[in-house]
Amino acid sequence: MLGTEQSFSDHVGQREHQSVNLSDDEKWHAALSRDETFDGLFVFAVRSTGIYCRPSCPSKRAARERVSFFPGSMEAENAGFRACHRCQPREAGPSPRSRMIDQICKYIEANLNRKLTLAVLGEQVGMSPYHLQRTFKRVLGVSPRQYVASCRLAKMKAHLRNRETVNDSLYHSGFSSRSRVYEDVPGVFGVNPGEFRRGGKGLRINYGIVDSNIGRLLVAATERGVCSVCIGDNYEAVENSLVEDFPSASLFRDDDGMKAWTDALVSYVNGERPSVDLPVQVRATAFQSKVWKMIRAIPYGKTSTYSQIARQLGMPSASRAVARACATNPIALVIPCHRVVGKHGSLRGYRWGIQRKQALLNLEKERLREKHNSKIVDSPSSASD
């Protein structure tokens, strides 16, 4: 689910690539899926109508043989095409549809204590509830109700961290009752709201710290499984990261007791094993679970992109929600979110630092190359006569 620390316009941002060498097949796929993340990178024109559009244009698609691609509006118009009135490809920045959804998101964030129905939200932009539901989910990858719930949850967590009572936090964040927290956002706490307010008070968490070639590794676990993996430059940094997530839990450093699990991670980082198969205890939304499962299926030494995962989920416009699911992954390396990159291999954010993300990718590629070369050397056909 999308985080709500920033408005939707912050997620849309500016165009990420001003000149990108996309193949025509990639452009056509983006146009077919109406992927808004490609807006501003190219336009497509239909020769039979003489009109050019953004990749996200909602208009019906013509046959592939009638479509041409141009870097931008100027090139399309120089070739004799006219701008589409629906998607307004001449305008810089987000599409009209994205701006409309941005407007709705800002309204939601400013009115969390109101009853936010589809009808109420639709009135803000002159759209029917049915059309709003479809458009909102196509752009953001989540429904309006899920976005409202995630906004309220973020606000509730802020109140809980300030040691407000659960009931006051519920009221101030717009939830009508304690049960609605679980109905609207199931599985996001991992503990009940009271425990969250107390920072995990009553929970016993053991952890171990070891050195690795990417820094200090901290592995923390409850009696059921790994709940946190932190990476940092020193012992203090990784311990502080754990305390931030569980400020009131009972934390016990037990390097010997955690040795089997820390050794497993070190072996992985050293390239001695392709995955980390450990029992885990993390709670997730249904969307996060799907994303994390797909990330764990990415082969060692390979990468996928946020948009590819979104398409595999059947939600081509949800690449930003996929990125958010990666950012909220609490068990780095066990769920190898470093294998998810931006378009054309660009590195996006990584909680433990872009340099570590690059180092992990380089290490995996190098180990894969060494393994491949070893097989060639050992093969009978490579032996001398």
Phi-psi region of 94 (alpha: psi -120 to 50; beta: other; left: phi over 0): beta
Measured distance CA(144)–CA(366) in Å, rounded: 44
Q: Is 54 helix (H, G, I), strand (E, B) or coil?
A: coil
Measured distance CA(136)–CA(97) in Å, rounded: 9
Q: Where are the beta strands (DSSP E) in 300-368?
A: 304-305, 340-341
Among 270, 288, 286, 287, CA closest to 333: 270
Greatest Cα pair distance in the chain: 82
CB atoms within 10 A of CB 141: 23
Given 57, 87, 151, 337, which residue is catalytic? 337
Supply 219's token pair: 């592995």
Supply 57's token pair: 């244009």
Measured distance CA(202)–CA(189) in Å, rounded: 15
Residue 82 CA: distances (Å) to CA of 40, 65, 132, 215, 372: 17, 19, 28, 55, 53
Given 53, 57, 84, 227, which residue is catalytic? 53
**Residue 84 is a catalytic residue:** no
User: Measured in Å, how far apart are the chain's first and last C-alpha atoms?
Assistant: 61
> Going by DSSP bridges, is the β-strand pair 340-341/304-305 parallel, antiparallel, or unpaired?
parallel
Q: Specify the DSSP class assigned to residue 177.
A: S
- Nearest 5°: the CA angle 264, 270, 273 is 55
**Residue 57 is a catalytic residue:** no
Residue 320 CA: distances (Å) to CA of 28, 141, 234, 349: 21, 8, 31, 12
Which positions are catalytic?
A: 53, 337
